[in-house]
């Protein structure tokens, strides 16, 4: 019996690349980031496993605050505009 993903297992990198070129620039950028991140694990970003664990806990805490509506979300571009204006005075 053929598995649903059997066809995908036989796709070549070249064929996948050619299909990816059909995506929008934004979608290709997201795909590029995802592929890049797939080459390293989260723990590789940190000096020790304890630091990685602390960051996982912080990420979870922040995500939970966002999901519960307890965090104030800010527009990143506006934050940087405000900082540039503040520091150019």
Write out pLDDT tens, residues 10-59: 788 899 999 999 999 999 999 999 998 888 888 888 999 999 999 999 99
Residue 89 has pLDDT above 80, yes or no: no
**CA-CA distance, 51 to 43, in Å (whole number)?**
9
* Domain positions in the chain: 1-39, 43-89
Confidence of residue 64 (pLDDT cuts 50, 70, 90): very high
Confidence (pTM): 0.48
**CA-CA distance, 61 to 36, in Å (whole number)?**
26
């Amino acid at each position: 019996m053929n598995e649903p993903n059997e066809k995908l297992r036989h796709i070549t990198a070249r064929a996948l690349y050619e299909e990816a070129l059909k995506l929008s620039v934004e979608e290709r950028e997201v795909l590029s980031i995802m592929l890049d991140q797939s080459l390293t694990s989260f723990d590789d970003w940190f000096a020790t496993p304890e630091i990685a664990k602390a960051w996982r806990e912080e990420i979870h805490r922040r995500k939970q605050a966002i999901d519960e509506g307890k965090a104030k979300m800010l527009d990143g571009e506006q934050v940087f505009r405000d900082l540039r204006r503040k520091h150019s005075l």
